[in-house]
Chain A
């Protein structure tokens, strides 16, 4: 078996907390089925681009699927954190692996969690999303790109955080706080273009905004010229965050 495959398999088996994974799935479903339907009656349908008009429950359901991207990303930090705390980080680096293989295996495991989680939430939310889902090849590739880039960004972000923050308590507090900042300054719950100026400005820097917008565009066939720009911005943000994570990771003292 390939080195990466072995390490990824280990990451998935050894460092994932099943209870946390369960709640990470429940969390978006709660938004889809409770908040989405709850607000559907008072929020009129609106256009999301390319002439596509969707209800609020649909809009939120698509955003909630991308929530799993953040959750998956947080797992990357947790995996590294557990390995450092439990001595497996050094143990693996004294084995026939390189640092690059180790960190990439965490990213790959995170991608699996992020993408698989998103797919699972999508499938569970299919009663809501299914009727409006527009299947096109371009749409599927766009959705895949959004999930991939979003997971890389948040995975790298969580890795950098777990390297910088020395205690697990601080890591949990800071990552949860960052989670809410990313969440509420993005277009997961509302279109950022209609938000107050400060939130709009913050959303422009927020990778979750781009992940969600690109995901929606692919899902509902609402492709506009803006989508390619958003893809480019998200790709750059993910690459920069990945570089920061690698830099931080290389500085871990053993």
Chain B
């Protein structure tokens, strides 16, 4: 697929080769190489300080790379910054708002500086205010908005102008779940219309919901790039097996299970009494649970496997420790 706006067809929305940004001896971004296809949602995940925002600042031409090459929408990052900026939108991680204006006017003036004609501005402001559920505070000064309302405004405002590529740096921070879903669904709709999105978040369910591919960056380097499904399959190795006993508790069973090959952790929830086994081999451990229960004359009343999550895969990828980590419990 290709970006459709302005009649320019490029297969790759972003192409990055060995891009680095150093601050003295420290490399904030260290020789990263990746590409983003047109009309793709590309997730860029990493722990705090991994280099996500620095990468976005470079790709949006705010910050000069120390070395490496990149093109955005077919334009060279170093020499064609203005052309790039004309065709991108950016929702920064930090707040950005015009403090002397109310919500509606701030959206209108943002459209004005992007040279959106007045009739279109009016139409889009009205549509976005409705889409993002901002009717109640449309006349409120931006300084008086809550963090979540301000965030909503910041995301909505960016859609006032046309763009081919949108950078979203943790756009849903501070949003309640309903608004967050609204925003994500809106983004999905825009992607269907041909928009390419470069997306960072710490909420991995969001990344899974929205992203076609994900790059995991840690300490300035890209650790892995793949689809969410593949990342989970390849790196989300630890799975949780939850089961309950008719007898409630069996120390003998717990003790026996703890020594079963492939079990990395066993905890019992003190409130519900259910056991949780963390294992990399559920297909082996589940029959063992039944076998040991039979032998110890206890009855398993329910058992289920909790699917591995993107969070498991992410944590495994960015943690130096080799041990699998249980999703929760104990």
Contacts and interface: CB of A to CB of B under 8 A. Distances in A.
Q: Which of B92, B99, B101 has the most CB of A within 10 A?
A: B99
A16 interface: yes
Contacts of A27: none
Nearest to B59: A94
Given A6-B113, A254-B63, A14 B100 contact: yes
Nearest to A16: B100
A172 interface: no
Contacts of A95: 85, 113-114
Nearest to B62: A254
B62 A88 contact: no
Contact of B100 (A13, A90, A96): A13
- Consensus secondary structure, chain B interface: loop
Given A1-B115, A254-B62, A14 B106 contact: yes
B114 A14 contact: no
B98 A14 contact: yes
A15 B82 contact: no
Contact of B113 (A15, A90, A92): A92
Interface string A80-96: 00100011101111111
Interface residues of B, number: 26
A64 interface: no
A3 B85 CA distance: 14
B250 interface: no
B82 A88 contact: no
Contacts of B62: 90, 93-94, 254
Contacts of A7: 113
A98 B80 CA distance: 12
Contacts of B94: 87, 90
Contacts of A96: 82, 85-86, 114
Contacts of A88: 96-98
Contacts of A90: 62, 92, 94, 96
B144 interface: no
B86 to A, nearest CB: 4
A7 B110 CA distance: 10
A13 B90 CA distance: 22
Interface string B96-127: 11111100011001001111000000000000
Contacts of B61: 94
B57 interface: yes
A96 B106 CA distance: 18
A87 B100 contact: no
Contacts of A1: 112, 115
Nearest to B158: A91
A86 B109 contact: no
A9 interface: yes
A13 B57 CA distance: 27
A10 interface: yes
B164 to A, nearest CB: 13
Interface in A1-38: 1, 3, 6-7, 9-10, 13-17
Interface of B: 57, 60-63, 82, 85-86, 88, 90, 92, 94-101, 105-106, 109, 112-115
16 contacts: A3-B115, A6-B113, A10-B113, A13-B109, A14-B98, A14-B106, A87-B97, A88-B97, A91-B96, A93-B62, A94-B88, A95-B85, A96-B85, A96-B114, A97-B113, A254-B63
User: Which 5 residue pairs of A and B lie closest in terms of their CB atoms, listed nearest first?
Assistant: A87-B96, A14-B98, A91-B96, A96-B86, A94-B90
